[in-house]
Structure 1
């Protein structure tokens, strides 16, 4: 799919809280994904990412050190504070944040503050990164956060990669299910129209055109649906009332037959909705995963 959208931040990755990285790793592997080695944050959380060939990735996130995480919250770390708020409201399994790529997180933070959607102070940090071959590097990031005034079910943030690891991710992107990228993210809301300012400012396109609640990013679409429309589209439960909650991820796959055979072989229950293969959330998989063959 070719996109020509400019002036808008691209999708970088998705944050999927989980209680256990071990459970997440097993679930994602059964779904046909290659899962990266565990990454440790300096503020008590840890992840096991799934990298995709289009440059996006999933970040299953667990709390690895409760004491360090509690201190980070006390010190005003917005990332850990928002993760805790999400877990307190929704449990330890879910889909808490959409992350957008940026080359200037400071400018994004200033824009969020001006628009009244800043979720708090910026965060800069570094952590070690190791590829499957054992090659290591240091990854450094700068983050700027945005959220609705009353939202605890979802937040968004811009991620500037101050130092991107020079490691080969080809092996991490060769997924047995044929997934090559993310084409759409779906959110539910009791008032989809009220999410326009939050999303359009966060993606750095205040004039974003909406068609039925869809926001087009350079590399994916973000659709905000009311709960009835979400259920009607995919046959999935939409959950409790919410201002904004991220609910599903649509992956592009090379061959839907290969994907469905793998899911069946691994005893992963799945349904067909039109041209989509739909897998409901499960422990270690905090969102509905939808696999769509794309040409």
Structure 2
């Protein structure tokens, strides 16, 4: 990890049925952690990677609690509900960066007019791979843009997390070790530079004709034009006339691409070639396309 860059912490992926998502990730060759319950009606079944990032497939376990959370101004649950209404039950709804000071982030987001609402502090039970348990506590600061109604960004400060070794959960049969890149789409990527650079504490974007790239301490965030996204993902659903910013795909790093293909196909996946990567398109329980790219030596 590069010390001066904010690390990507995790991605939030709404799912309609957590059982379906668990089965899908297992078929893709990922090891899925035991479920975690939130105090505001949602639950997850996370996939942890060796680079310290993770995926958070998220379902609504208690509709009544979730509705009460929305009414009380819970930004996390409120966005989840809006996303499911606007986009669907399966997708990618939020990008989360790690932080040591969420309160400072919140102040910066408010000063730069990108805050999405009040901070959220919560605790939840934590169960480790070996069955050990404890309580984890978090403080979240939210950012966003009115031109990105389906994309939430926040920073996450861990203010009380049990010392549990997650290493066994980071070994995946498909060979994935890193979350290389998060891909978003917008007709005018540069319109979202201020949002992303503020989120990342003024990281420098790399611009090209059809994209902007920002480096986190662990991964790259890319905003592509619809044409560039179509060329990579083989999906024409992004409209040049739609000015919004949307999450599009996740790219993982693997050690041996041939071995990854073999494992994916053995799990019943339809695998396409996308440049130097492999692509598995979205399905129930997997809300966006997944790309698999061999790590550079």
Report the TM range for the smaller structure's normalisation.
over 0.9
Q: TM-score, normalised by structure 1?
A: 0.96
The aligned length equals 291
Aligned counterpart, 1:255: 256
Once residues 224 and 90 of structure 1 are traced to their aligned partners in structure 2, the CA distance between those partners, rounded to angstroms, is 19
The answer to whether 1:128 aligns with 2:129 is no
Aligned counterpart, 1:211: 207
CA offsets per residue over residues 202-256 of structure 1, 9 Å max, x none? Answer: 1111x52322311111111100011111111232334453511111111011111
Once residues 234 and 121 of structure 1 are traced to their aligned partners in structure 2, the CA distance between those partners, rounded to angstroms, is 35
Once residues 160 and 132 of structure 1 are traced to their aligned partners in structure 2, the CA distance between those partners, rounded to angstroms, is 22
* Closer, same or farther: CA 137–242 of 1 in aligned 2, 3 Å: farther
State the SS of the aligned residue for 1:211.
strand
Give 1:93-172 correspondences, 5 Å limit. Answer: 93-172=90-169
Q: TM-score, normalised by structure 2?
A: 0.95
State the SS of the aligned residue for 2:123.
strand
The RMSD of aligned alpha carbons is 1.3
Once residues 289 and 209 of structure 1 are traced to their aligned partners in structure 2, the CA distance between those partners, rounded to angstroms, is 24
* Closer, same or farther: CA 238–164 of 1 in aligned 2, 3 Å: farther
Once residues 236 and 7 of structure 2 are traced to their aligned partners in structure 1, the CA distance between those partners, rounded to angstroms, is 28
Once residues 85 and 20 of structure 1 are traced to their aligned partners in structure 2, the CA distance between those partners, rounded to angstroms, is 17
Aligned counterpart, 2:194: 197
Aligned counterpart, 1:233: 232
Aligned counterpart, 1:222: 221
Q: List gaps (5 residues or longer) in structure 2.
A: none
Once residues 264 and 4 of structure 1 are traced to their aligned partners in structure 2, the CA distance between those partners, rounded to angstroms, is 35
Q: List gaps (5 residues or longer) in structure 1.
A: none
CA offsets per residue over residues 236-288 of structure 1, 9 Å max, x none? Answer: 33445351111111101111111101111111011011220101111111111
Once residues 251 and 161 of structure 2 are traced to their aligned partners in structure 1, the CA distance between those partners, rounded to angstroms, is 26
